[in-house]
Structure 1
Amino acid sequence: MEKNKLNGKKIPWWKKTTIYQIYPRSFKDSTGNGIGDLKGIISKLDYIQDLGVETIWFSPFYSSPQGDFGYDISDYLNIAPEYGTMNDFDDLVKNIHNRKMKIVMDLVLNHTSAQHKWFIESKKSRDNPKRNWYVWKDGKKPFGKAPPNNWKSYVTGSGWHYDSHTDQWYWASFLPFQPDLNYRNPDVKENMMEMIRFWLRKGVDGFRLDILGAVYEDPKFRDNPLSWKLIPSDESMDMLFRSSKYTTNYPDNYEFAKDLREVIDEFTDPPRFLLGEVSGSREELRNFCGKDSPDGLNLVFLFESMGAQLTAKNFRKLIKDFEKYFPDPYIPTWVFSNHDIIRRISRFKEQGAIEKAKINTAFQLTVRGVPTIYYGEEIAMRQNFLPLEKSLDAVSFKFKKFPRIIRNLLLKITNYAIHRDGCRTPMQWNRTETAGFSPSRTDTWLPVHPNYKLVNVENSIEDKDSLFYCYQRFLKLRQKTPALNSGNITLLDAKKIPKNILGYTRSAIFNGNEQTVHVYLNFGNKLVSFQIPEPNFHLIISTSISSQPLNGQNITLQPFEGIILGD
């Protein structure tokens, strides 16, 4: 049988991969200006490879005025000078591919920067050739000085912005300086598709697609109806008692996902993939991948996991739900931190946080799906709760006027920080000044977390039972074990194992040979002993290097310990 075949079918690489997200501004500064850059990243590729991940996703480093730190693009075909040059990018691709790894770029299709040459032209006059490249609309009477309708932006407040020069309003789903492109104009769509091909020709292996559900809005510009939701969630962008029916996940977006898939499928050696940042019900998320067959996005983020409480019951339910809506040949994703939300470990109490992070890691890297790890998660980097008053994040500007009691309430009821600086602070490499992030200065673009002398890569590598090595052990095992990186999943009967234990098997027929592994995760804070059905299981891996959990058919798991057994 042909190599690399699972259950008789060849599995595309992106279904088996593990993804590591880098926020380029914060990973490694090679120049001493306090800002991370491409050469700095290249210098640390051996570290990432040694960790055991296979694909690197980069937040944007295109040309940008940096109003939203790269998510406001002024030129899609060039590199922002603070990050490097196109030659540096080519070196990055070459160095990643030389290590048998893949590169994924962040792509913001919904909007550009207001400083993009297209929008500068678009604002000049109503009859400018680029006018219809963006979403412009007359205001309501009297005198057109009220917004065209009641649509809200993702960051609260009207998404319509008045331009006195042309006496019309432009639509921006996110921040005011990020005007939405008009994809109902075929010239816009053609230009953006060709831009995608440009990067694919340069060797990019895939794209993470920013707020894809906002690309198309209702062409009739109808008011969004009433909603009873106050705060947005992973399932809905409704907020402040206003629905997002006509501005998020409008049906044309699902067809657009298929159009994007057709473009990337033009490139087959190797195959490329698309990972969408979308929010909505599970049915809506599935629609982005293809309602009846997987002919849309290859993957979508399933953000429910981010806020999931660390219990066997919660994770069991998530597995069931994700498997229901994303069964093979679809595949779920598992993500717990990113550049927009509070770091996962900071949601755990300090005492026992490392053990909880280890069990979270064991789950993420053994369940069926594609895991995404945010830079620094592997060394237990925590959220740096910086003062809102000094925030650089443009999203935070709306919240600075809120009373502190309201800010604290928002932090408690949502995963999203009221400013995002705290999860974007510089990577902590060692115990030296600036945590080894910058070679020559202390004035880094964001302050390094004060705990950097304790929490850093250097210390993690010196401690053989650190979170870093837990990640590394599970990642390397996942790389070489088809049952883990590609196999089916079967949940064990919850009634036959202790309450705080989550158990499942992963199995596959690989190259004609059957392979099964058994996963047991203790989500409780107490030691648990129980029996397993087979006396001949052997221990493959544990979250703890000192544990001896197996004695015949008896398993004894320490608090927050996870293990994998083999037949």
Structure 2
Amino acid sequence: MDRIYPTRQWYKELVVYQIWPRSFCDGNADGIGDIKGVISKIDYIKQLGANAIWFSPLYKSPQKDYGYDISDYRDIAPEYGTLEEFKQLLALAHEKGLKIIMDLVVNHTSDQHQWFLESRKSKDNPYHDYYFWRAGKKGGKKPPNNWLSTFPGPAWQYDEHLNEYYLHLFAVEQPDLNMDNPRVREEVKNIMRFWLDMGVDGFREDVITFISKKEGLPNGFPLPAARGIEQYVNGPHIHEYLGEFRKEVLDRYTCMTVGEAPMMTPKVALRYIEEGENQQLNMMFHFQHMEADCLFISWIRRPFNLRKLKKVYDNWQTKLYGKAWNALYLENHDQPRIISRYGDECYRAESGKLLATMYLCQSGTPFIYQGQEIGMTNIRLPELDMYVDISTINTYKLFRKLHFKHETIMKIAKEASRDNARTPMQWSAGKNAGFTQADKAWFHINPNYTEVNVEAQLEDPDSLLNYYRKLLALRKENPVFVYGDFKMHYRRSKKLFVYERNFEGEKLLVICVFSDEPVRFRTTGGLKLAGAELLLSNYTVDNPGEDDFLTKPYETRVYLFR
């Protein structure tokens, strides 16, 4: 039987750099990142080896959830710039060979969006059915069902004027859209057309698997948070609605889509992303590989478990191969910094290089989050009033209700809060880490910016930043990095993550050592390293052809067999 290789597509050869705009670069000296700041760093992104940028929301927003509460889908938040400035950025990016991916957030809007303001005026307002307005139980005194928000707290908010509740699966300021209403779906399609007509190249679709709720909104299983999630994740009409968006809009443009999906597995993902006439999305962000040091969410801490991580990667790499395409990431705006989680801050550069190698040598389209390429780490803010993330604050309140001590919760928050990923980008050892010329940045800057910054790493050929550049260049030059299959070695090892990739007669062997102590490595399966080229390593290797050796702390090597 002939091996089925993946089909070659332009989006499969992208390297996407994610920008969380508020903390990337401030171009007008007001302390907040903006479009002018991004324009000033376009060459930096290009030189890294990225050929696409995904923007977390730039749209107008009250910023209760930092852009994921949108009040106008067709305009830019004034603190970030203007629509004209965005068009200038778009033209410049395209001129330099960079695609632009926008965040499409259509499970919910801001409570300041004109649709919602209209919807709460009266029950017969034409926008009332844009959202889930429901009468309460027991004479209106209790919510319509027992659902709880995924940002811990109630999922229903009472409106005294209407004597009704509205549904919000996230913050109270983020009411859920009723996608069962055809007019709402038409609005979504028009939003897509607006940005695609302008020239953007695709969308990252926020919690897209939540947009179809079960009819009647039945009670959920009694969980302490996100109660009711089984009633709306992968809901009854999800494939119908995404198919509608694809056929009526996306298929008419050269663009790509990547969905975001909590509680996703390879089997379920294939229903969305398997290539063929029923494909609805190009890729899917899942969270399973982010659970190697926690139980479902980063707030329920567990010791890091390499075998658990390897099993997830093996599943996704093998079950999608030749059928669908992976989206690869280790960091984003919702996840604490990866070196602080899966690496070792005492070996920041070495473990940073290890983690980069581990995921960038796999099959899929890689996403790199701002600051990941220089090894930014968790800031670990000590006091609750220093945090600004609404999810962190709501989770703190939930844990207090569950009788956790303040000191215990703060210890968890230091490791688990999304604010760890949202500190300003560290450009230099100068004032405010080079992020802003204002007296003060909008948020706390990690004190390690004097050592961990772009300027210092550009000058150091052995830096993590330059390692990312080398690795991304190798990925671009060698199709086996992108399209090769995946075969695990040392499957049961708790310290070694070793895999091979094969494509059109070439083989990669990727060795990753998750330990600060020496580990004995021996080649398996008859492989002889003397017959391979050592493409990349994070240490000087005196005898690269040796098949049996003791490893160094967090060592990684990549060999190519031709």
**Is TM more than 0.5 here?**
yes
Identity of matched residues, %: 35
Deviations 1:515-542 (A, max 9, x none): 3322222333315353562365233422
For residues 512 and 185 of structure 2, what CA distance do their matches in structure 1 show?
47
245, 254, 269: which one aligns with 1:260: 245
SS class of match (1:88): helix
Cα 1:542/1:8, change in 2 over 3 Å:
closer
Conserved? CA contact 2:6–2:483, under 8 Å: no
Deviation of residue 499 (structure 1)? 6.9
Which residue does the alignment assign to 2:559? 565
231, 245, 260: which one aligns with 1:246: 231
| Correspondence 1:270-289 to 2 at 5 A | 271-282=254-265, 283-289=267-273
Which residue does the alignment assign to 2:49? 52
Conserved? CA contact 2:528–2:545, under 8 Å: no
Which residue does the alignment assign to 1:369? 364
386, 389, 396: which one aligns with 2:392: 396
Q: Structure 1 residue 130 and structure 2 residue 115: aligned?
A: no
Q: Structure 1 residue 308 and structure 2 residue 292: aligned?
A: yes
SS class of match (1:526): coil
Cα 1:102/1:409, change in 2 over 3 Å:
farther
195, 202, 206: which one aligns with 1:199: 195
Cα 1:281/1:81, change in 2 over 3 Å:
closer
Conserved? CA contact 1:534–1:553, under 8 Å: yes
Which residue does the alignment assign to 1:358? 353
Cα 1:287/1:453, change in 2 over 3 Å:
same
Greater displacement, 108-117 / 517-526: 517-526
Unmatched tracts of structure 2, length 5 or more: 294-303
Deviations 1:321-378 (A, max 9, x none): 1135423221222322211121111224432233222111101110122222111011
| Correspondence 1:441-480 to 2 at 5 A | 441-480=438-477
Letter of the 1:172 partner, please give it: H
RMSD after superposition: 2.7
Q: Structure 1 residue 93 and structure 2 residue 78: aligned?
A: no
Unmatched tracts of structure 1, length 5 or more: 1-5, 231-238
Cα 1:167/1:349, change in 2 over 3 Å:
same
Which residue does the alignment assign to 1:234? none
Q: Structure 1 residue 528 and structure 2 residue 528: aligned?
A: no
Conserved? CA contact 2:6–2:323, under 8 Å: no
Letter of the 2:185 partner, please give it: K
Conserved? CA contact 2:269–2:284, under 8 Å: yes
Which residue does the alignment assign to 1:235? none
Deviation of residue 290 (structure 1)? 5.0
Deviation of residue 67 (structure 1)? 1.5
Deviation of residue 70 (structure 1)? 0.8
Deviation of residue 63 (structure 1)? 0.9
Conserved? CA contact 1:173–1:214, under 8 Å: no
Letter of the 1:444 partner, please give it: A
SS class of match (2:18): strand
Letter of the 1:288 partner, please give it: Y
Letter of the 1:274 partner, please give it: T
SS class of match (1:249): coil
Which residue does the alignment assign to 1:421? 419
Q: Structure 1 residue 159 and structure 2 residue 155: aligned?
A: yes
Letter of the 2:230 partner, please give it: K
SS class of match (1:28): coil
166, 170, 174: which one aligns with 1:170: 166
303, 318, 329: which one aligns with 1:335: 329
Q: TM-score, normalised by structure 1?
A: 0.88
SS class of match (2:142): coil
Letter of the 2:510 partner, please give it: V
Conserved? CA contact 1:465–1:545, under 8 Å: no
Deviation of residue 564 (structure 1)? 1.8
For residues 80 and 318 of structure 1, what CA distance do their matches in structure 2 show?
38
Conserved? CA contact 1:302–1:334, under 8 Å: no
For residues 240 and 415 of structure 2, what CA distance do their matches in structure 1 show?
29
Cα 1:390/1:337, change in 2 over 3 Å:
same
For residues 158 and 317 of structure 1, what CA distance do their matches in structure 2 show?
35
For residues 481 and 407 of structure 1, what CA distance do their matches in structure 2 show?
51
Which residue does the alignment assign to 2:209? 213
Cα 1:165/1:527, change in 2 over 3 Å:
same
Conserved? CA contact 2:396–2:409, under 8 Å: no
Letter of the 1:519 partner, please give it: V
Which residue does the alignment assign to 2:299? none
Which residue does the alignment assign to 1:222? 218
164, 181, 188: which one aligns with 2:177: 181
Deviation of residue 243 (structure 1)? 4.7
Cα 1:21/1:263, change in 2 over 3 Å:
farther
Deviation of residue 483 (structure 1)? 0.6
SS class of match (1:361): helix
Deviation of residue 450 (structure 1)? 1.1
Greater displacement, 143-152 / 403-412: 403-412
Conserved? CA contact 1:206–1:273, under 8 Å: yes
SS class of match (1:76): strand
For residues 408 and 320 of structure 1, what CA distance do their matches in structure 2 show?
38
Deviations 1:47-86 (A, max 9, x none): 1111112221110010111121111111101111111111
Q: TM-score, normalised by structure 2?
A: 0.89
Which residue does the alignment assign to 1:546? 540
Which residue does the alignment assign to 2:379? 384
Deviations 1:182-224 (A, max 9, x none): 1111111111111101111111111111111221212212111
Q: How many residues align?
A: 540
Which residue does the alignment assign to 1:482? 479
Deviation of residue 407 (structure 1)? 6.0
Deviation of residue 156 (structure 1)? 2.0
| Correspondence 1:47-126 to 2 at 5 A | 47-126=44-123
Greater displacement, 442-451 / 535-544: 535-544
Deviations 1:488-527 (A, max 9, x none): 22334658xx874333222223xxxx33322222333315
For residues 539 and 81 of structure 1, what CA distance do their matches in structure 2 show?
52
Cα 1:183/1:83, change in 2 over 3 Å:
same
Greater displacement, 15-24 / 102-111: 15-24
For residues 527 and 325 of structure 1, what CA distance do their matches in structure 2 show?
30
Conserved? CA contact 1:550–1:556, under 8 Å: no
Cα 1:537/1:559, change in 2 over 3 Å:
farther
